[in-house]
Structure formats: C-alpha cells, structure tokens
Amino acid sequence: KNEVEQSPQNLTAQEGEFITINCSYSVGISALHWLQQHPGGGIVSLFMLSSGKKKHGRLIATINIQEKHSSLHITASHPRDSAVYICAVPNTGNQFYFGTGTSLTVIP
Amino acid sequence: NAGVMQNPRHLVRRRGQEARLRCSPMKGHSHVYWYRQLPEEGLKFMVYLQKENIIDESGMPKERFSAEFPKEGPSILRIQQVVRGDSAAYFCASSTGTGGAETQYFGPGTRLLVL
C-alpha cells in the first residue's frame, strides 16, 4: 500500500464544472502539499497546508488531519487547468511521499 | 528574482557514459532536493542536501549515483555509467527551511535519455 493515495487517477471534465481531487495518506505529517505538473513537465507548488482550508483564485484545498485526508477543488474549471495534480506528504524526516497524480483534462 | 534553474533541460547519453545534472536554487535558499520521475510513474525522492552537506540520501540508488552541493556553485547530481533504466526526468527543488513544512520551489527538470 502506498503512503499516499490519490483519486481519481484520470478525470475529464467539461469547462465550467466543479472538480474535486482526493488524497489520503497513512504517514504522520507536518504539512501536506499540492503540486501541479503542466503538460510540458514543469512543476508548481499550489498549496502547503497543515490544517483547515486555503484558497487561491479558483483553487481551494482542504485538509482533515484526523481523517488523514485532503481535497483539492477547482471551481469553474477551464481548459488551462488541464494538468497532473500531485499530492505530497513529508515524513518525519526529510523525505516526501508523492501520490501518483491525477491527470485532469478540461474540455472546452 | 530567478526561480530554480536546472541545466541542461535535455540530456542524451549513451550507455556507459556519465551524466551531470545541475541545479541552482532560488536566491536565499540553502536546501536542495532531488527527485526522479520515471516514465509513467510518480515523483520519487532521491536526496536532500544543504550547503556542503548531504542530509538524507535514502532515496539514492546505492551505486553509480552521487550528489553534492558545494559552498559555491550549483548542486550537482552525477550518474556514472548510465543505463537505459536511468532515463527519466530529474527535478530539483529548493526551500528556505528543512523538512516538509516549507514550500519547495521546483526547477523545470532535466530530461535524461539514455540510448
């Protein structure tokens, strides 16, 4: 079993739809990270959160520490949101455990 | 303020050659992480370095791979006697602090192809 599980693995949505990507983890953490990997391969850090909820534009990330679960939401999705979204969880050392990613395609 | 820089962006090597991948962290960042992304797989931690020190190399293959972050200059990931299975994207990230409680800023990656 992986330390970090993401779902769904692949997601296709119509432009404008509300999107949710889920991440469950089994390791203890100080903070959970959401990353975005563009089709060209570059990686951008979207959120780092250790409790509650964070919002940046149309992106919202939530975390429930007790349930070891986080969600990434995209409101009013747009084709430019098409990317792979990766959940990353640090262990008590310096390693990150990564989910396998959710590949999102938003169709115009 | 330049972001994390990696070079080369693409590197082609023949089996048995050496590959040197460079990473210049963001200004003011003294913590560097290297990750590998094999084709169709997720990111995997390789090594964590601070200036002149390897802090955690538990994700590095035991042979042929080494990393350094000298006092001056970029961090280097070195792969000796490359094999086809080393073909992957190698990402570097940097941060101001340690562990997972700091945002890591990723470089564009180096895509290594071993022929």
pLDDT(B1) > 60: no
Tell me if B100 and A98 make a contact (CB, 8 A cut-off). Answer: no
pLDDT per residue as tens digits for the range B2-15: 689 999 999 999 99
Tell me if B42 and A86 make a contact (CB, 8 A cut-off). Answer: yes
Q: Rounded distance, CA B43 to CA B39, Å?
A: 10
Instruction: Please provide the average confidence, as pLDDT, over all residues in chain B.
Output: 91
Give A57 or A31, the one with higher predicted confidence. A57
**Interchain CB contact of B65 with A (< 8 Å):** no
| Cis upstream peptide for A8 (omega within 30°) | yes
pLDDT at A30: 74
Give A54 or A42, the one with higher predicted confidence. A54
Q: Which residues of A touch B (CB under 8 A)?
A: 29-31, 33, 35, 41-45, 48, 50, 86, 88-91, 93-101
Low-confidence winner among A60-69, B54-63, B100-109 (lowest mean pLDDT): B100-109
Position A34 confidence tier, pLDDT thresholds 50, 70, 90:
very high
**Interchain CB contact of B59 with A (< 8 Å):** yes
Q: Rounded distance, CA A42 to CA B111, Å?
A: 11
β partners of residue A12 = A105
β partners of residue B56 = B48
pLDDT per residue as tens digits for the range A7-29: 999 999 999 999 999 999 987 67
Q: Rounded distance, CA A71 to CA B44, Å?
A: 21
Position A38 confidence tier, pLDDT thresholds 50, 70, 90:
confident
